[in-house]
Amino acid sequence: MSIFLSLDQQSLEKFNQSAKPTGIAMIVIGIIGIVFPSVISLTLNFFISSLFFLSAIALAYSAYVCKVQTLMLWFKPFILLLLALLILFHPAVVISTLGLILAMYFLMDGFAGIALAVEIKPSKGWVFMLLNGILSLLLGVIVLVGWPLSSTWLVGLLIGISFLFDGVALLAIAGNIRAS
């Protein structure tokens, strides 16, 4: 007896139709992450800083337009601006935190991949899903061992590797899953 819900034929057909193009996209994104790991990490850091900065501007504009004589309306924009600057000028803080969160993601992704492989086991390609799950577990352990010093380049590299193997696993099982 399976602990997971069994997929009906229609759901499996939809999955099979989307697995191949999704797999190819994941492989391309993964290769970009592997080739440019530090750029991926720093771009993510810049993106997060920009979101905080834009939020600070929007809230400051709202406080200005309101013309209420209280500093409390300016408190949140001020905090968001400080956070944006901290993130922008001290990227190691965010990237190292992201490295730790990423380790947790890889560990959970690994367990989920292994569980899915066991679920689809006699289907062709289940071994690739199992290997993908084991790789994700291994990546989670690597991040934890090298954390926080290696986070700058490791975050982008591991995201790339994980996405590459997700794509390979999807391509391996595309069209091969059958309803039981």
pLDDT tens digits, 88-98: 898 888 888 88
Question: What pTM did the predictor assign?
Answer: 0.56
Residue 76 maps to a domain: no
Residue 66: other Cβ atoms inside 10 A: 10
Q: Is residue 143 situated within a structural domain?
A: yes
- Of the chain, the percentage scoring pLDDT greater than 70 comes to 92
Residue 111 domain-assigned (yes or no): yes
**CA quadruple 81, 101, 155, 105: dihedral sign:** negative
Domain membership of residue 43 (yes or no) is: no
For the chain, how many structural domains are there in total?
A: 1
Residue 80 inside a domain? The answer is: no
Q: Confidence class of residue 66 from pLDDT cuts 50, 70 and 90?
A: confident
The parent domain of residue 95 ranges over 9-38+91-173
Tens digit of each residue's pLDDT (9 = 90 or more) over 67-120? 777 788 889 999 999 999 998 898 888 888 888 888 898 899 999 999 988 888
136, part of any domain: yes
What is the average pLDDT score of the chain?
84
Within-domain flag for 79: no
Q: Is residue 62 part of a domain?
A: no
What pLDDT, on a 0 to 100 scale, did the predictor assign at position 83? Answer: 93
Alpha helices (runs of H) in 36-150, residue ranges in sequence order: 37-66, 72-89, 91-119, 126-146
- Non-local CB neighbours of 142 within 8 Å, separated by 6+ positions: 154, 158
pLDDT at position 4 is 47
The gap from C-alpha 29 to its chain's centroid, in whole angstroms, comes to 12
Rounded Cα distance between 79 and 65, Å, is 19
The total number of residues shown for the chain amounts to 180
Cα–Cα distance, 106 to 34 (Å, whole number)? 16
pLDDT-derived band of residue 1, with 50, 70 and 90 as boundaries? very low
Over residues 118-142, mean pLDDT: 87
Query: Do residues 110 and 137 lie in contact, with contact meaning Cβ atoms separated by under 8 Å?
Result: yes
- At residue 6, φ and ψ (nearest 5 deg) are -75, 140
Distance of CA 50 to the CA centre of its chain: 19
CA distance 141 to 143: 5
**Which pLDDT score, from 0 to 100, does residue 52 have?**
94
**Predicted local distance difference test score (pLDDT) of residue 180:** 52
Which residues, in sequence order, are CB contacts of 166 under 8 Å at separation 6+?
23, 26, 30, 132
Among 137, 116, 136, CA closest to 125: 116
**28 — pLDDT class (breaks 50, 70, 90):** very high
* 158 has a pLDDT exceeding 50: yes
